[in-house]
């Protein structure tokens, strides 16, 4: 059931880029501290080699401050403890890991350029995490095509993001561009020789349209793309990912119904040593939610297509689907602090994920659940 490692760098890079290019925490009157505690658990139904399961306890921390009007300095990290069990070697094997993740420190600022509102975001990934963690957990977790790994342990990274907005009546049109540099790190462990893995740098382009529909309601149309340089192992090109294209539409009503729906398309990648073409399956998703005052009920569905490789190819991935539900509640403590409680459950079905006792491929399902709280205070 083990998935080929060839796409782990690619998936990791796309996840990292998504995090780095996300909007920085909103500016606050002074200093804002957000401290969380989260439990994550999962298990699988694979009938031949069990278990493939695990659990994590995460304590994310975000600190943000306003150095000047329109500016926002932020730092994000988390402490994690994880227990991961898989049966890839024929008998259950468990890793217990505890350490900090990587730390992201960044600065965003609003200003006018070309006489229009603009934003600049600069961020640094500091390798305070364990670079072997993601490799050790890879056989135990729910496939990252459906649920991203919470932990990050990689090399130095730098990112720059610039965007501008063009007002047009009740609508705004925006454009943004960014670049993510990833430094080399060694993800191997145990008896494996050192492996200097450098995830391919990526460039990011985005276009969006935001329309004000009154009473706090907006709808948003987004188009974006990532372009990748080759991923290298030991200084030699290993795999070159094809461009990743994304399109989404969303409706936001903070007092009632909201949703977002979109598609992610991955063009073929090329394995440099063999010239073989490989790919990641196209993904469709929707995230509806409804706000009942301070209580929000959110759902999510995702459908991932097969990557098109033959079933006997080591790079084959059969696709599958996810359905999940997440209620959350915000409890206002006073004028400067609040608590947010959340829980979630996701059901994931992976098509043709592993051979049964007769050697025929069978579907494997996962249950994935979380419980957590965040304490947020402005000082």
How far apart CA 60 and CA 103 sit, in angstroms, is: 10
How far apart CA 296 and CA 300 sit, in angstroms, is: 13
Give the mean pLDDT of 74-85.
95
Give the mean pLDDT of 227-233.
92
Give the mean pLDDT of 167-176.
92
Q: Which residues, 6 or more positions from 148, have their beta carbon under 8 angstroms from its beta carbon?
A: 15
H/E stretch holding 136? helix 133-137
pLDDT in tens, 302-342: 999 998 878 777 778 899 999 999 999 999 999 899 999 99
Q: Given this model, what pLDDT does residue 49 score?
A: 60
Between residues 281 and 373, the one the model is more confident about: 373
For 370, the token pair is 């979380």
Q: Given this model, what pLDDT does residue 361 score?
A: 85
Q: Given this model, what pLDDT does residue 271 score?
A: 85
pLDDT at 12 over 70: no
pLDDT at 97 over 80: yes
Contact 163, 173 (CB under 8 A): no
pLDDT at 18 over 80: no
Q: Given this model, what pLDDT does residue 358 score?
A: 79
pLDDT in tens, 214-224: 989 999 999 99
Contact 176, 24 (CB under 8 A): no
Q: Which residues, 6 or more positions from 275, have their beta carbon under 8 angstroms from its beta carbon?
A: none
How far apart CA 21 and CA 86 sit, in angstroms, is: 33
pLDDT at 51 over 90: no
Per the DSSP assignment, residues forming a β-bridge with 258 are 289
Q: Given this model, what pLDDT does residue 29 score?
A: 56
How far apart CA 60 and CA 106 sit, in angstroms, is: 16
Q: Given this model, what pLDDT does residue 30 score?
A: 82
Give the mean pLDDT of 113-140.
92
Q: Given this model, what pLDDT does residue 91 score?
A: 65
Q: Given this model, what pLDDT does residue 188 score?
A: 83
Q: Given this model, what pLDDT does residue 192 score?
A: 63
pLDDT band, very low/low/confident/very high, at 15 (cuts 50, 70, 90): very low
Q: Given this model, what pLDDT does residue 135 score?
A: 87
H/E stretch holding 302? strand 295-304
pLDDT at 76 over 80: yes
**pTM across the whole model:** 0.88
5-378: CATH, from 2.60.40, 3.30.750, 3.80.30, 2.40.160: 2.40.160
Q: Given this model, what pLDDT does residue 13 score?
A: 46
Give the mean pLDDT of 161-165.
94
Q: Which of 106, 79, 103, 78 is nearest to 21 (CA)?
A: 106
pLDDT band, very low/low/confident/very high, at 20 (cuts 50, 70, 90): very low
Beta strand segments in 294-378, E? 295-304, 320-334, 337-355, 361-378
Between residues 188 and 181, the one the model is more confident about: 181
Question: What is the residue extent of each domain of the chain?
Answer: 5-378
Mean pLDDT of the chain: 88
pLDDT at 365 over 50: yes
């Amino acid at each position: 059931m083990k998935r080929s490692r060839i796409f782990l760098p690619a998936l990791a890079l796309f996840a990292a880029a998504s995090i780095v290019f996300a909007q920085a925490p909103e500016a606050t009157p002074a200093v804002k501290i957000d401290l969380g505690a989260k439990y994550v658990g999962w298990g699988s139904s694979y009938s031949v080699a069990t278990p493939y399961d695990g659990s994590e306890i995460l304590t994310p921390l975000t600190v943000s401050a306003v150095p000047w009007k329109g500016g926002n300095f932020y730092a994000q990290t988390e402490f994690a403890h994880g227990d991961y069990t898989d049966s890839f070697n024929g008998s259950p094997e468990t890793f217990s890991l505890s350490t900090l993740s990587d730390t992201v420190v960044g600065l965003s600022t609003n200003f006018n350029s070309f006489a229009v509102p603009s934003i600049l975001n600069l961020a640094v990934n500091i390798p305070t995490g364990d670079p072997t963690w993601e490799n050790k957990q890879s056989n135990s977790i729910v496939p990252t095509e459906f649920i991203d790994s919470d932990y990050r342990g990689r090399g130095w990274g730098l990112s720059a993001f610039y965007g501008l907005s063009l007002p047009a009546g009740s609508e705004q049109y925006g454009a943004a561009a960014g670049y993510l540099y990833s430094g080399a790190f060694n993800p191997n462990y145990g008896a494996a020789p050192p492996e200097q893995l450098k995830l391919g740098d990526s460039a990011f382009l985005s276009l969006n349209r935001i329309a004000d529909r009154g009473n706090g309601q907006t709808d948003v149309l987004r188009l974006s793309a990532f372009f990748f340089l080759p991923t290298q192992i030991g200084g030699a090109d290993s795999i070159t990912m094809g461009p990743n294209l994304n399109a989404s539409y969303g409706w936001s009503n903070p007092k009632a119904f909201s949703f977002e729906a979109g598609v992610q398309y991955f063009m073929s990648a090329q394995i440099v040593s063999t010239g073989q073409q490989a790919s990641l399956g196209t993904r469709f998703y929707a995230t509806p939610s409804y706000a009942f005052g301070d209580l929000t009920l959110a759902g999510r569905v995702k459908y991932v297509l097969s990557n098109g490789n033959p079933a006997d190819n080591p790079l084959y991935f059969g696709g599958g689907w996810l359905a999940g539900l997440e209620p959350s509640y915000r409890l206002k403590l006073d004028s400067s602090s609040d608590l947010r409680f959340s829980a979630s459950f996701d059901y994931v079905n992976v098509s043709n994920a592993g051979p049964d006792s007769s050697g025929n491929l069978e579907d494997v399902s996962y249950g994935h659940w979380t419980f957590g709280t965040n304490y947020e205070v402005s000082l």
